[in-house]
Amino acid sequence: MNQKNKVEMETKNRKKSSVGRSIGLYNDVMVGIEDSPARNEPDNIKQKDKNLQSDLYPTRENIFNSNNLRINKEKKYYYVRVKTEDNTYKESPISNFIVVPLYTTVRQGGKQVYMLKIISNNQTKVVEFDGETLAIHTAFKKHCMNNGRFNWYGKQTNLDSLINMILTSPMKELEFIPYMGWNEKEGIWIYPSHAYYRDKVVLADEDGIIAVKGKSFKVDVDKDDEYRIHPHIDTTPSKEDLVTYFKCLKLLYGQYSNLALGYIAGTMNVDAIVKETDYFPFLYLYGKHGQGKSTAVKEYTKMAGINVSLNTPPSLDSLRKGMSRKSSMPFVVDEAENKNDNSKGIDFFKTCSESLKNNVYMRQDFIRGHKDESAIIRFPVKATLMLSGEVLTSVPSIIQRSVLFDASKINFNEEAIRKVKALKEVPYWVGQYLMRTSYRWKHNFLRLYHEILDYFNSRGWSNIHIRIRSHYAMVLASAFAAFAQLNDLLEDEIFFSDPEERKEIYQFVYQEMKETQQLTIEDHPAMDFLRKIGLLAKKGQLQNNSDYKCVKEDGSTYLYLAPSNIYEAYQMSERIPFYPSSNKVVKDLQTYSFFIKKVKHRIGASNPTAWLIQLSDPGNPESIKDGIVHPELPDTMIYFYK
């Protein structure tokens, strides 16, 4: 099937839903309550029969007659009839509008809500009313006027009559969705302007209502200029444009272009992969100002269907709300870096580090709590996280939870930049296509994830921490699966058809994993602690054969540290010690391969136990090979060669 036929088949399924004046409900309202000549000439005999019938079988018309409420459908207002001096009747308007009931829904907390279309000669608007506002005529009047040039000057009895008409109308059930993006329950991608149900595209009507799968939905999120949703694109780009676009990205960003696409594509099936891993990484772009990281962020978030304005880091509360209102979409934090100067703004990592590790990474709800269980507010983590900053954070746990993108490696190829700008609609289309076909390539993504992990192990890369290997396997698998889906559309093996391409990206990924692991190790507070020990030894504040001792055995060099002496010297040297006790230190040190164990070994006259470190292990970090070195004093180490 060629591209044109595929697009035509999809287009057939796209019909803009409408709840306009032509619906049967509107006509029913008009017929049910419109004025007629028969009503102007009351017949006492007939009226007795009608009253009896209305008591037994109340209808909307009977309800309105009993309260003397009428409608002028031409001028669009409600009125009551008043008797004149010459025993005739005239209209006494009580509004400048009429109402068409559309939908009913239940808000959070169980509050019943009614969606009513208010129509006047000058204006039409769909307005939401809760029961309290609808029930009291003064509140009803205020709410109408707050939403337009709609005035109600009827009495409570007139409003009661109108309420009866509303409650007896066959309104549809409307479901409000408090986030945009993937809705796992319904199996749809939904945004304020459109929705994707598998390959079908459904546009919202003029009131923002989306009718899909026999149900009516409305996305209920605040207008947010930082995340403007791009309108649906009908036209499929040519094969040439798709190939040119991804070729230019490769010229600009190298293999990072594939990892970034893989990350964005991975967010589209984040629910599926998290069921197997219990976590999902961050994509973290870092580099000095002017290296192009902001441009890269904006380009790749287009594939998530959004236009992002990069602003200052959010507060913790904004992070909670932002990540709960975007589902299977990236939430972007710009200027995410350690800030030592308070004038520079929020130190994002200092403020949100624990939440990033415990909530965002582990996909666990944020809870803003209260002792009263019913007062606890939950913010489900639905979005994924993209970070951008000039300086890579010094928090090792954040680095280990990230797929890193080094902006210093971006190439400023002017011709590639020009072509990418010219193909500005292509990334949006790619993202929208991958969204509405995500159900097709999800299983391929999961299969590839396990295959890539097995490949890493077969290459002997198990020395890399399993968490880091898992992150890169995820983004590689989603990149391969997404490109395979595009190949299927093009009916040609365009992307990653050459085995050499895969070899290149695997080698690149291996180097990235090693660098990530090294950054994680070197920047950990436990490593800072050991480097501090080296400095204290140089200054003479720690003594050989009293506080520490080095021993050579079987060609290896071992370092024994006296825990209480070492920690006391560290505590006295630090204005604000990171570690509150030696037990906390050893808990972190035990995670490293160079830490052998706690042993019964006396150093000097005290400390019956010692921490044992193997200094000569070739797998050690650079800072403790053959000794513990302080970066400011490269010739300083606890072990001195003779």
Contact between 209 and 176 under an 8 Å Cβ cutoff? The reply is no
- pLDDT confidence of residue 183: 97
CB within 8 A of 399, min separation 6: which ones?
284, 392, 393, 516, 519, 520, 523
Contact between 268 and 435 under an 8 Å Cβ cutoff? The reply is yes
The HSE-up count of residue 528 (CA atoms within 13 Å, CB side) is: 13
- pLDDT confidence of residue 588: 81
Question: Taking the domains of the chain in order of start, what are their residue ranges?
Answer: 3-16+177-217, 24-173, 239-520, 524-637
Q: What is the DSSP letter of 535?
A: H
- pLDDT confidence of residue 605: 73
Q: ∠ CA 227-228-233 to the nearest 5 degrees?
A: 130
How far, in Å, CA of 594 to CA of 611, rounded? 11
For residue 443, what are its two tokens?
């299983």
How far, in Å, CA of 582 to CA of 568, rounded? 9
Q: Collapsing DSSP states into helix, strand and coil, what is residue 141?
A: helix
Which residue from 13, 16, 15, 18 is spatially nearest to 436, judged by alpha carbons?
13
Which residue from 211, 126, 124 is spatially nearest to 174, judged by alpha carbons?
211
φ, ψ for residue 258 (rounded to 5)? Answer: -75, -40
Give mean pLDDT in consecutive 10-residue pieces for the chain, a chain of 642 residues: 48 43 44 41 42 38 54 92 87 94 86 93 93 94 96 94 91 93 96 94 92 93 74 95 97 97 97 95 92 93 89 87 94 81 67 89 86 77 95 84 95 95 97 96 98 95 90 98 96 89 95 89 78 84 88 84 91 86 85 82 81 78 65 58 34
Residue 297 one-letter amino acid: V
- pLDDT confidence of residue 340: 59
How far, in Å, CA of 102 to CA of 126, rounded? 9
Contact between 267 and 261 under an 8 Å Cβ cutoff? The reply is no
CB within 8 A of 555, min separation 6: which ones?
616
- pLDDT confidence of residue 66: 39
Task: Please write the tens of the pLDDT for every residue from 204-217.
Answer: 998 889 999 999 99
How far, in Å, CA of 379 to CA of 364, rounded? 9
- pLDDT confidence of residue 61: 43
Which residue from 501, 433, 46 is spatially nearest to 254, judged by alpha carbons?
501
- pLDDT confidence of residue 374: 67
φ, ψ for residue 611 (rounded to 5)? Answer: -90, 135
How far, in Å, CA of 367 to CA of 359, rounded? 9
How far, in Å, CA of 204 to CA of 375, rounded? 34
Cα distances (Å, whole numbers) of residue 137 to 91, 121, 161: 20, 22, 11
How far, in Å, CA of 563 to CA of 356, rounded? 32
